[in-house]
Chains A and B, each alone.
Chain A
Amino acid sequence: MTEPTLTYPSPLKEFWQSFRTNKGATVALIYFALLVFAAVFAPLVAPHAPAEQYRDALLTPPAWAHDGSWRFILGTDEIGRDIFSRLLHGARLSLMIGSVSVLLSLLPGVALGLIAAFYPNAIGSFIMRLMDIMLALPSLLLAIAIVAVLGPGLGNTVLAIAVVGLPSYVRLARASAMTELNKDYVIASRLAGAGKLRLMFNTVLPNCMAPLIVQATLGFSSAILDAAALGFLGLGAPPPLPEWGTMLANARDYIQSAWWVVTMPGLAILITVLALNLMGDGLRDALDPKLKRLA
């Protein structure tokens, strides 16, 4: 018979119990789950097709407004497209841009960071200098420069945001790998004859995951923000794609007459980014007990 005090909860359960105490993060997680669901099943959930133009209902106000109708919950835009449906389909684009660009900067970023940690002299310092140069420009500006050269478009937006995000993963992976490298278990593994690759990816990397996961969440939110900013400037996803920022670029002409055309896409961006940042805070508290409740 085991002593009840000696049984520890599984790491996953421990994490969840810690995460759950953060109410903001839990609400954000629920919102995000709903958003992912809505994005995946957008064609089924959305009441209208995103590009369908209802010529009899141009600039219809939202349902709760004076002459709104429940046919278009959040109203319609200047050529009669249903804003709610476009936002749902836009969620697909935003989540796609976010996840692909995070993956595209996370994977090479971690590899480069580990290499920099394992070979600190020649290759390592070269990599880090390179990252310093990339960090000298603010991310949005660098992304604008990249898109200005490669030309606007969805693919180039993803690429630009991935490049811009790279340095933070490299730095983080290197820093946490460096602290792990001197620990006994790594030395033991090395003495047992583990090769460099095994040491990097099997021994060290799993113990560096916590800060990387948090950074990926925050990177996801800034990817969505930057993609929307590029779209707004006319350098991102081209119209008529229902990307949230692109929707706002056309909406500028309606600030006097149709506030909902301007308000709704921005609210979608704000709430989603806010949810991701809340989740990031919650993840950091739950994954890194040292930082817990310090602030």
Chain B
Amino acid sequence: MFTFILRRLAVVIPTFIGITILAFALIHLIPGDPVLVMMGERNLDPVFYKAAMHRLGLDQPLYMQYWHYLVHAVHGDLGQSISTQEPVLSEFLKLFPATLELSICAIIFATIVGLAAGIIAATRRGTVVDHTVMGAALTGYSMPIFWWALMLVIFFSVYLGWTPVSGRLDLEFEVAPVTGLMLVDTLLAKDFDAFKSAVMHLILPAIVLGTIPMAVIARMTRSSMLEVLREDYIRTARAKGLSRTRIVLVHALRNALMPVVTVIGLQVGTLLAGAVLTETIFSWPGIGKWLIDSISRRDYPVVQGGILLVATMIILVNLLVDLLYGVINPRIRHAR
């Protein structure tokens, strides 16, 4: 197990260093002079310009600049936002719970619906039900989710008037942030009307963000179930006279879950990329909206730091999934 962890880490560390180089290069790839681009002024005082160059460390050789950047980044110093003057890391940490809450709800929705759809399709293979479910899954997989969000808003918010259009909570509620997760905070405050409001705000964004993972999980579950259902032990279970439900849900599903779990883990990237679109549409105050807003404000330290943080998170989660998978499945652990 120990060598397995070491082997995984040996891949992760170069990847992380590569990401820092990428994030570092971002600011140097901006066409034009970075100081002029950031200050947005044409006739800058040369003294002030020199001071800015020095403050940003841009008067040093490139490798020294990178080294400083790396040392600062590892210590959690990712620079300051130009528009708010706040450290990038603290802004990220403040907004991250909103994205986390949205992503968790999305992946729960995707897992429940995706698993159910996959199981139903596999057990009714070749029937109309199977074709319908798989057609729906392929449609979900092909979905431009920003458009899907608008469609759901038109139907549920505008036409039916069931759900709010944007934000996390109705303005009438005031909830003290404890965890930053609105569902938890409202419950901690024992404010059940606020909790209901938070749920209503969360439903549409979670469905939108969960749509593509749901489709992927449904397709994976189906093909993995079909493979398992052909195994001898299923025939044995059937011969023993076990009920169909028990065979499918206990004997087959348990063994079919392995690849599905991996796929769920791999959806973290999809979720974070989808969060950019979903949060923009629903004005959800998370890191996706933060990134897009800072791009349009040309707040490059935020763009740079945000991308580094998001990428680091994806690497870490993927590492975790890999390790967990190694724990569950010894064949992976011992493979070269």
Name which residue of chain A comes closest to B222, CB basis: A295
Selected from A133, A138, A148, A281, the residue in CB contact (under 8 A) with B269 is A138
B228 at the interface (CB under 8 A from A): no
Contact residues in B for A140 (Cβ distance below 8 Å): 273-274, 276-277
Selected from B15, B142, B147, B295, the residue in CB contact (under 8 A) with A148 is B295
Interface size class of A (residues with CB under 8 A): 35 or more
Interface residues of B in 265-292 (CB under 8 A from A): 269-270, 272-274, 276-277, 280-281, 291-292
Majority SS at the chain A contact face? helix
B76 at the interface (CB under 8 A from A): no
B323 at the interface (CB under 8 A from A): no
Contact residues in A for B56 (Cβ distance below 8 Å): none
Determine whether the beta carbon of A136 is less than 8 Å from that of B19: yes
B263 at the interface (CB under 8 A from A): no
Binding-face segment, A74-82, A183-191, A198-206, A257-265: A257-265
Selected from A221, A229, A277, the residue in CB contact (under 8 A) with B277 is A229
Determine whether the beta carbon of B307 is less than 8 Å from that of A138: no
Contact residues in A for B144 (Cβ distance below 8 Å): 225, 228-229, 232, 245, 266, 269-270, 273
Interface size class of B (residues with CB under 8 A): 35 or more
A248 at the interface (CB under 8 A from B): yes
B5 at the interface (CB under 8 A from A): no
Interface residues of B in 12-53 (CB under 8 A from A): 14-15, 18-19, 22, 26, 29-31
A83 at the interface (CB under 8 A from B): no
Bits for B240-270, please: 1 = Cβ < 8 Å to A, else 0: 0000000000000000000000000000011
In the complex, A139→B303 CA distance in Å?
A: 16
Interface residues of A in 217-234 (CB under 8 A from B): 221, 225, 228-229, 232-234
19 A–B contacts from the bound complex (CB under 8 Å): A129-B18, A133-B18, A136-B314, A137-B314, A140-B274, A141-B310, A144-B291, A144-B295, A148-B303, A150-B31, A225-B144, A229-B146, A265-B147, A266-B150, A269-B144, A270-B139, A274-B139, A277-B141, A277-B142
**Residues of chain B having any CB pair with chain A under 8 Å:** 11, 14-15, 18-19, 22, 26, 29-31, 135, 138-139, 141-144, 146-148, 150-151, 153-154, 158, 222-223, 226, 269-270, 272-274, 276-277, 280-281, 291-292, 295-296, 303, 307, 310-311, 314-315, 318
